Amino acid sequence: MYTADRGVFVGRPTMNMSKLNEWLTLLTNAAVVVGIIFLAVEVQQNNELLQSQIRETQAVSIQSASTLDQEFLLLLGSDAATAQMWRTYLEGPDGLTDAQRLQCSYLMGALLRRLESVHIQRKLGSLSEEAWLSRMALFTGIARSPGYAAYLESPGSAFLGKDLREYMEQLRSQ
By percentage, how much of the chain surpasses pLDDT 90?
24
3: part of which helix (H) or strand (E)? strand 2-3
**130 vs 55, more confident:** 130
Q: What is the largest CA-CA distance in the chain?
A: 116
pLDDT band at 91 (very low <50, low <70, confident <90, very high): very high
- Model pLDDT for residues 20-44, shown as the tens digit of each residue: 888 888 888 888 888 888 888 888 8
Percent of the chain residues topping a pLDDT of 70:
82
- The CA distance from 161 to 132, in Å, is 19
Q: What is the per-residue pLDDT for 152?
A: 93
CB 151 within 8 A of CB 105: yes
Highest mean pLDDT among 39-53, 70-84, 118-132, 159-173: 159-173
What pLDDT does 19 receive?
81
pLDDT beyond 90 at 57: no
pLDDT surpasses 80 at 90:
yes
pLDDT of residue 87: 93
Helix, strand, coil % (nearest 5) of the chain?
85, 0, 15
